[in-house]
Amino acid sequence: MNHVERPELKSHKHRKRAVVTVPSAAALAAALGAGLLVSTSGGAQAALADTPLPASARTVTLVTGDKVALDAKGKVTGVVAAEGRKGIGFRIQQAAGRAYVVPRDAEPLLANGTVDRRLFDVKRLVGGRYDDARRSDVPLIVTYDKGTSVSAGTFRSSGATVRLDLPSINGDAVRARKSEGSALWETLTSGTGASKVRKIWLDGKVRAGLDRSVPQTGAPAAHSAGYDGKGVKVAVLDSGVDATHPDLKDRIDAEKNFSAAADTVDRAGHGTHVASTIAGSGAASPAGTKYAGVAPGARLLVGKVLDDEGSGDESGVIAGMQWAVEQGAKVVNMSLGGTDAPGIDPVEQAVNDLSADSGALFVIAAGNEGPKEGTVGTPGSAAAALTVGAVDREDAIAEFSSRGPTADGFLKPDITAPGVDIVAAKAAEGSMGDPAADGYVSMSGTSMATPHVAGAAAILAQQHPDWTGPRIKAALTASAKPTAATSAYTQGTGRVDVTRAITQQLTSSPTSLGFGTQEYPHTDDRPVAKDVTYRNTGTGPVTLDLATEAYGNDGKPAAEGLFTVSPRQLTVPAGGEATATVTADTRVGTAEGSFGGSLTAATADGATTARTSLGVVREIESYDLTIKHLDLEGKAAADAATNIYGLDNDVWTDTVAERDGVVTIRLPKGRYALQGMIFTSGGGRSVLLNPKFALTKDTTLVMDARKTKPVKITVPEGAAEPAGAMFFLRVNVNNEPYTTVHDARSFGSIRVGQFGAPVPAAEATAMYHGIWNHKSVNYRLAWNRTGDLSGFTKTVKRDELTRIKVVAGSPAQGRTTSIVASPLLPDGFFNFYDTQGRLPLTGTDYVLPNGIRWFYQVSQQGAPDSEGEPTWEGMQVSAPRAYAAGKEYTQRFNIGVFGPSLPQGALPPGEKRPGAVRVGDTFTASVPLFSDGAGNLGVSTHTKARSSLHADGKKIFAVNTPLDGESYTLPAGKRTYKLDVDASRAPAQSPVGTRTTATWTFTSAHVPGDSPERLPLTVVRYTPGLSTASTAKAGTTLSVPFALQGAATKVGTLRKLAFAVSYDDGRTWRNTTAVNGKLLKLRSPAKPGTVSLRATLTDADGNTLKQTVHGAYRTTK
């Protein structure tokens, strides 16, 4: 088959698309797999664009100005389009630790590579602290086409500022103010900047990832020969350096801050450790030791590119690199990195271009994501970098050391160095590292290995002042000491050996030979040959014996003949060069995967040797899948795509059709779930499904829209209009569910077809869910489908439906609501369509009594905020339930009595059971304090809160927040605990349930094992018949039923149960007696006011509760 040196990551007409299946690349290849497309246009379905996000949600504003809400687990829970973008569509896809929200107008820009996918990975954005609570802008790197740029004035007029000029990549670091919405997005993608912009990147994060270690590298021999890096400028781009440490005193020539920190002080400690490994004097070493650096004569240039927590922006790193070469650095140490992605990112580009322009050598950590293949990080993945892996003191590869190939299939790392338990200087204010001696700490990582190599490079730069980075790199890799039976994708040429490097007269160009990937099957592979040129700087000729060896990732030798060299003997003249040819022949052997090794050149006496790394990937059994997309007229569909999900492997990717509707992709042999999508200009689409397609040979499939069936649903009420529709697919093979949701304005714009062999119901199911409304009536219809998942036609009659009366109360005046009713899916729910209106609201819902469970989310919204959006004030969420035929139901929400709840039954999707648990000696508690009278789980904004826990009177914690899942450590022995909660909310938001307090006492001791033990909390729930305003008539007797939830559920088991009532806002209390252990009879004063309730109880085990609900309900005339 044809030789492919670099995996192709874009689909091209009649050109194959290779799918990289090494872990880091696979995750990125999955970036925009099959997902949810949410429309926010027109009528009720547009409610998504106008609904405010809950205050309890974590939100992140996209570069487009659209705002996304996520829950604590990172699941997308809401999307609000930016002003002026109402009607835009969103694709939402969640899998493999990623959550992508991509507006429709960003899709083509992602497809053609103009926009960085990371800008829409909202879960990653929150993890990187880009969410709205932690920063007010979106950090970008904007690069331009050659000879063009966008002016600072244009950025300013679009609500953005230029933070840094990045000439090395012809770009700018830009900060787009979130408050300006979509202004910058419009400028860069469709306005004045569109013709100039090459790519819009997220200004992503990079992170920081010597006694015996320095001798291990052979540096003392160089010192004895008079080479200690004297006068060589080495830049340390890191977290800063503690210039006051004795080992680093008077060694710094210049320093500059490029991070978000206030100054260059090293409060992390990472940079100081790195700098002293390079150039530390060892002055503070304890007696009998010497913690000196590899090149103690070197001069340091300190660029602080990582903040006080050890992370920084990519733009700051690039700016630091530019500064370093401007300051005359011969060597630049970068013990930092991030996740590599296919293609050349801005930092990789800066490494390559600055290396070529300045001659500096960038020595960069490989990363700490081993031992899996394909984990080398960026910018260590840059071709020009000298990329460093880590070994321990025995020269064994550190398990954490990242392995190649890179995301683009290149051979990395280049070299290794000691990186385990490295002792070096401790920054005075540093927090990293384990104490090793006074003024020193121990750290492990490729961050620690890298400065050993940077120090070695400084020694060579002193010895050979005329050498540029490539020659230094060649000498270091040629002279490295290999770890036996280890692939070059793990170690490069081996561990740095300074003793040999300073005498190395024989080097090779290139320093590594990567032969890319040879496609399956290998019986017809063609050998690939590459030249390697040896340079001899000695005074006499050398005759070399050439030999190759290679190993798989498992350490087993590669097949004989995989790599050969010709000639086997070569003479290189003094001061001259000679060339040999290495051939990779993947026809030999049967094993598949990556194979890396070395070409060794040595004289007969072994006095002169040089090593060059070799690598090739022998593709696993794979085939071409060609997909032809045809529209409803049978013509080639250019606006089409097929989503491909591997049922037997990690492949998850999109293939986008070319103009002729055809795309070819290279995939490993296996089973796949396929979804072809053919789009129409009106927003409709035809979806072709093959939930379990087996790829066993080169195959051509036709995604023919004419094979799809329409979805035609007729509801009983002719005036009812469609308000949203959803098609949900779930494939579950090997117990690894894969789900996709297609959202449409109505079923009229979606068609579904299925082809291929029938799939059992246990392996593939679908749900069709549609909403139709007319005035206050909603038809919420859902069908589960198995077998044939295609579209269908159905006329629904009134007597087939179950009626639900939905009542949403309003304790306060002038409030609005957003109501979402969702059918429960096996893996959660997707439903962003809501019903909005003014509170109180009464409506009617009709559902099918077909066993599908539904749950409701009812929000209360206040006055608009400064941006004109309604203010979220609280939410009540029902437990999921199915509705039976022949019955009528009433669902009540947001009506008192509001109070704490510990429900025992089914919970809303994603909710953990409220209460308090202990695992070992870890205490965790979450208690909703404002659940409504119907028992719906409630959350609410609050004006003040306090939670505390004491053990035998000693404080464990006291925080100014409700109990919401935080964990705390308890003493192991048996103690008596007192848990207090107290939360208040503004009367203007809710004049009832204004304050809830509860105090529990219980005993607890260490819980063995990993299973949680629920702690004995009990609450009292009240369910009087109140109006929608949570009121009762003054001067009358009201029956107030009550029930217990939590540890005690039966009144008869209690030792004590007492109630008190207050009619004056809690100033005075009077006891009241329960009737038959079931209810209270409360006669309120004739004068309207509030009624507060207090309960005290002791359960059978002596655990107690004192619970007070202030303003449980109001009385009116």
- Residue 940's SS3 state is strand
Residue 810, number of CB atoms within 10 A of its CB: 21
Longest distance between any two alpha carbons in the chain, whole Å: 115
- Residue 1081's SS3 state is strand
Closest residue by Cα to residue 991 from 813, 842, 861, 807: 813
- Pairwise CA distance, residues 121 & 456, whole Å: 40
Q: Which of the residues 238, 307, 408, 650 is marked catalytic? A: 238
Compute the Cα dihedral for 405, 22, 549, 565 and give only its sign.
negative
- Pairwise CA distance, residues 899 & 1020, whole Å: 8
Q: Which of the residues 39, 355, 447, 749 is marked catalytic? A: 447
Question: At which residue do the structure tokens 């121990």 appear?
Answer: 442
State in Å, rounded, how far the first CA of the chain is from the last one. Answer: 88
- Residue 108's SS3 state is helix
- Pairwise CA distance, residues 59 & 69, whole Å: 4
Q: Is 449:648 a contact under the CB 8 Å cutoff?
A: no
Residue 447 appears among annotated catalytic residues: yes
* Cα Rg of the chain, angstroms: 34
Q: Is 140:173 a contact under the CB 8 Å cutoff?
A: yes
- Pairwise CA distance, residues 283 & 290, whole Å: 8
- Pairwise CA distance, residues 71 & 74, whole Å: 5
| Secondary structure (DSSP) of 594-644 | EEEEEEEEE-TTSSSEEEEEEEEEEPPSEEEEEEEEE-TTSSB-SSEEEEE
Question: At which residue do the structure tokens 């109360």 appear?
Answer: 809
| Secondary structure (DSSP) of 770-785 | EEEEETTEEEEEEEEE
Closest residue by Cα to residue 180 from 96, 260, 63, 271: 63
List CB contacts of 291: < 8 A, sequence separation 6 or more: 210, 211, 247, 276, 280, 282, 284, 285, 423, 424, 425, 437, 440
| Secondary structure (DSSP) of 547-611 | EEEEEETTSPBPPTTSEEEESSEEEE-TT-EEEEEEEE-TTS-S--EEEEEEEEEE-TTSSSEEE
Question: At which residue do the structure tokens 């004491």 appear?
Answer: 950
Report the interhelical angle of 446-463 vs 469-478 (nearest 10°).
Answer: 110
- Pairwise CA distance, residues 555 & 595, whole Å: 9
- Pairwise CA distance, residues 1000 & 1017, whole Å: 7
Identify any residues that bridge with 773 across adjacent strands, giving them in sequence order: 721, 778
Tokens of 1022: 């009240």
Q: Which of the residues 223, 270, 452, 769 is marked catalytic? A: 270
- Pairwise CA distance, residues 190 & 55, whole Å: 33
Residues serving a catalytic function are 238, 270, 447
